[in-house]
């Protein structure tokens, strides 16, 4: 599934294409997509395919097409502080983007059938926290993953504000999915070849809307134990943050707000990612000549074409020079502020989440 938009050269180019095709429609979703490089969730040797609007699968590792994820993110209508459950959480790519919107007081849980994929997701999450500058630009709700079949969730599990299922749901499992949702919540799942948004409007009432025609592999049916019944799977607990963690959140928030105020006072704009200019395609004028008794079209370069080609070369050279200037890594102002605080090194390390950069 995919191929709805043109392939990009990098993550920003892919997001530009998704915006142009109206798959990404809100600033909040755009920021989350730009902050997480899709290529980071591919295995080495496959990254060249990361910015195509195509699904990718290698063994148990799977990523849906970017157009699917963007429609899902928009349909979930995410807000800070909500609880989210990802059924078939896979590589953690979607859960990590969701975490940037939920913020530190949300809940971000995922359940994945394959233990090797959960290990892969946890490795990618750790790498994002330790190495990505985006981590310091957002308040993050860290995902927690468990191994298990999402059709075996324990009956006493808590309900969620937002739920996404990343595999095809059979009609007889529809009500099972709905029960996991809080009143006022939104469930997005593929059912009967349609990506569907379901809103729970009351204890026993729902509203459904088809979003997009899709083709997903169906949910794997649960295996049974020796007693002939499937084992239940417990979801991660909804833990309350401790005082130490709360202090770190509010110190980082205060410093981030101070940096923003300081930049505004100096008249320094918050720079948006540069938009990539589309290359102009040179067109040829056709003239027609008689060869024998046949009228044959002949391409003819006009002076205007030659001028446009020269302008295009100059423009590309200018863009290349500007890109070279932009290659310097951006300053991580939050980290700089923390490292200048008159605090013990161990406390500075805690405030930076023990990041190396």
- Tell me how far apart the alpha carbons of residues 143 and 106 are, in angstroms, rounded to a whole number: 10
Residue 134 token pair: 């985006």
224: Cβ contacts below 8 Å, ≥ 6 apart: 230
| Of 64, 70, 95, 132, catalytic | 64
Contact of 66 with 53, CB cutoff 8 Å: yes
275: Cβ contacts below 8 Å, ≥ 6 apart: 16
Q: Is 115 a catalytic residue?
A: no
Q: Residues with catalytic annotation?
A: 64
């Amino acid at each position: 599934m995919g191929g709805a938009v043109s392939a990009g050269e990098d993550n920003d180019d892919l997001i530009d294409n998704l915006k142009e095709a109206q798959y990404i429609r809100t600033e909040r979703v755009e920021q989350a997509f730009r902050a997480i490089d899709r290529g980071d969730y591919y295995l080495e040797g496959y990254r060249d395919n990361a910015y195509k609007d195509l699904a990718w699968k290698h063994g148990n590792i799977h990523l849906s097409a970017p157009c699917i994820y963007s429609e899902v993110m928009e349909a979930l209508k995410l807000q800070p502080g909500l609880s989210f459950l990802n059924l078939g959480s896979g590589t953690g790519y979607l859960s990590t983007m969701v975490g940037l919107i939920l913020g530190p007081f949300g809940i971000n849980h995922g359940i994945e059938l394959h233990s090797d994929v959960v290990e892969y997701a946890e490795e990618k999450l750790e790498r994002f926290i330790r190495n990505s500058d985006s981590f310091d630009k957002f308040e993050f709700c860290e995902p927690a993953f468990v191994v298990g079949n999402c059709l075996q969730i324990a009956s006493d599990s808590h309900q969620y504000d937002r739920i996404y299922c990343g595999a095809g749901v059979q009609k007889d499992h529809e009500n099972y999915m709905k029960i996991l949702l809080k009143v006022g919540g939104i469930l997005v799942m593929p059912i009967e070849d349609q990506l569907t948004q379901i809103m729970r409007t009351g204890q026993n009432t729902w509203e459904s809307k088809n979003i997009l025609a899709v083709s997903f592999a169906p949910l794997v049916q649960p295996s049974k134990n020796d007693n002939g019944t499937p084992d239940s799977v417990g979801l991660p607990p909804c833990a309350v943050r401790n005082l130490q963690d709360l202090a770190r959140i509010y110190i980082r928030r205060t410093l981030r707000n101070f940096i923003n105020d300081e930049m505004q006072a100096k008249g320094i704009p918050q720079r948006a990612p540069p938009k990539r200019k589309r290359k102009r395609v040179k067109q040829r004028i056709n003239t027609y000549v008689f060869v024998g008794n046949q009228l044959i079209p002949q391409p003819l370069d006009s002076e205007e074409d030659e001028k446009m080609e020269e302008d295009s070369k100059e423009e590309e050279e200018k863009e290349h020079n500007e890109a070279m200037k932009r290659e310097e890594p951006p300053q991580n102002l939050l980290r700089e502020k923390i490292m200048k605080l008159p605090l013990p090194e161990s406390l500075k390390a805690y405030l930076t989440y023990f990041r190396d950069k």
